[in-house]
């Protein structure tokens, strides 16, 4: 073997202008964009909910001379409650590793990004499991299109409009948000039921804004979060968190009294200075490990409030 070798005369140095980390784009996360975030001071509590039926019935009658007006009323349910469990994850930075890191690296920042993304991904997966599923929403019957939306002659616009009408008839509110799995959005972008309706618009670029205009709703959100479903150190198995589905809802513009919404996210901001999302990042010393610990915590409760304000489409693609 020739001596000296290449490794004897050259020590690999990290390129100062390249430091690659697979930080998932936060734009792909929709869990904090659909339903209003309700900041709460206490970890758990109750909230009031008005019974819908009385608000859509009129008991007004003609009032006779010297007669009382017609009596009516409404009910309030005080049993609904929330509980913001605390989720936590940490990354330890060993003193020896920190002392030996090269200049372009910033492991403190990397660890902070790492635990933050871990919590964000957990919240996204919780949101999908809580809201993006069958046998929950009653604004219309769960639908799986007979002609899949990536097939010729399918009618996604017509089908979504039908659900908009159904929710409005049941609740008095028109749905204002549509959440699409990214693969479903890709199919709709090429679907003639959509493209034919925008053929004569000034803007020819297919966009979620154009789809929202066609459906006469406020917003279309694309759920594109990706996660690794394999165990630690096993070969990665990458997959989308949301697939082949669509959720149509009415979401209140902001949390307020006497304002209905398909869902809310209660965020425990009273937990030792947490952010509006209930997120807290701490740095602490782990002397026994001779390490610094970067720890992230997040406390929230994603609550279904009004099942009749949503409709779900599943198995939308062939």
pLDDT tens-digit profile of 194-242?
Answer: 999 998 877 778 999 999 999 999 999 999 999 999 998 999 999 999 9
pLDDT recorded at residue 8? 55
pLDDT tens-digit profile of 32-85?
Answer: 999 999 999 999 998 877 777 776 778 888 888 888 888 877 787 778 899 999
| Counted domains in the chain | 1
**For residue 222, is it within any domain?**
yes
* Residue 10 pLDDT greater than 70, yes or no: no
pLDDT tens-digit profile of 95-152?
Answer: 999 898 887 778 888 888 889 899 999 999 999 999 999 999 999 999 999 999 999 9
Average pLDDT over residues 269-285: 83
pLDDT tens-digit profile of 287-314?
Answer: 999 999 999 999 999 999 999 999 999 9
**For residue 25, is it within any domain?**
no
pLDDT recorded at residue 24? 55
Q: Which residue range(s) make up the domain with 90?
A: 77-313
**For residue 83, is it within any domain?**
yes
- Lookup: tokens for 223: 């759920």
**For residue 21, is it within any domain?**
no
Confidence of residue 274 (pLDDT cuts 50, 70, 90): confident
**For residue 267, is it within any domain?**
yes
Which residues lie across from 304 on neighbouring strands? 263
pLDDT recorded at residue 160? 98
State the average pLDDT for the chain. 88
**For residue 176, is it within any domain?**
yes
Q: Among 162, 96, 146, 86, which Cα is nearest to 119's?
A: 86
**For residue 72, is it within any domain?**
no
* Residue 18 pLDDT greater than 50, yes or no: no
**For residue 58, is it within any domain?**
no
pLDDT recorded at residue 187? 97
- The rounded percent of the chain whose pLDDT value lies above 90 is 63
- Which CATH number characterizes residue 189's domain? 3.90.1690.10
């Amino acid at each position: 073997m020739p001596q000296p070798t290449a490794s004897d005369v050259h020590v690999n140095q990290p390129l100062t202008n390249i430091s690659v980390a697979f930080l998932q784009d936060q734009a792909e996360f929709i869990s904090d964009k659909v339903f209003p975030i309700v900041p709460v001071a206490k970890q758990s509590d109750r909230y009031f909910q008005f019974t819908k039926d009385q608000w859509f019935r009129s008991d007004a009658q003609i009032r006779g001379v010297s007669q009382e007006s017609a009596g009516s009323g409404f009910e309030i349910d005080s049993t609904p409650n929330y509980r913001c469990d605390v989720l936590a994850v940490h990354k330890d930075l060993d003193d020896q590793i920190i002392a030996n890191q090269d200049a372009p690296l910033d492991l403190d920042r990397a660890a902070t990004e790492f635990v933050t993304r871990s919590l964000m991904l957990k919240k996204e997966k919780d949101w999908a499991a809580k809201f993006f599923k069958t046998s929950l929403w009653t604004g219309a019957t769960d639908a799986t299109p007979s002609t899949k939306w990536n097939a010729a002659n399918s009618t996604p616009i017509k089908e979504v409009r039908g659900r908009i009408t159904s929710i409005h008839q049941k609740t008095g509110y028109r749905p204002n948000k549509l959440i699409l799995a990214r693969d479903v959005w890709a199919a709709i972008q090429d679907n003639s039921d959509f493209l034919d309706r925008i053929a004569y618009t000034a803007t020819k670029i297919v966009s979620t804004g154009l789809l929202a205009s066609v459906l006469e709703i406020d917003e279309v959100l694309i759920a594109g979060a990706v996660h690794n479903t394999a165990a630690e150190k096993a070969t990665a198995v990458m997959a989308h968190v949301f697939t082949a589905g669509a959720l149509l809802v009415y979401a209140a513009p902001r949390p307020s009294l006497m304002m209905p919404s398909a869902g809310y996210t209660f965020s425990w901001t009273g937990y030792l200075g947490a952010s509006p999302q209930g997120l807290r990042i701490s740095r602490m010393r782990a002397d026994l490990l001779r390490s610094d610990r970067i720890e992230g915590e997040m406390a929230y409760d994603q609550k279904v409030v009004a099942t009749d304000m949503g409709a779900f489409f599943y198995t939308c693609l062939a």
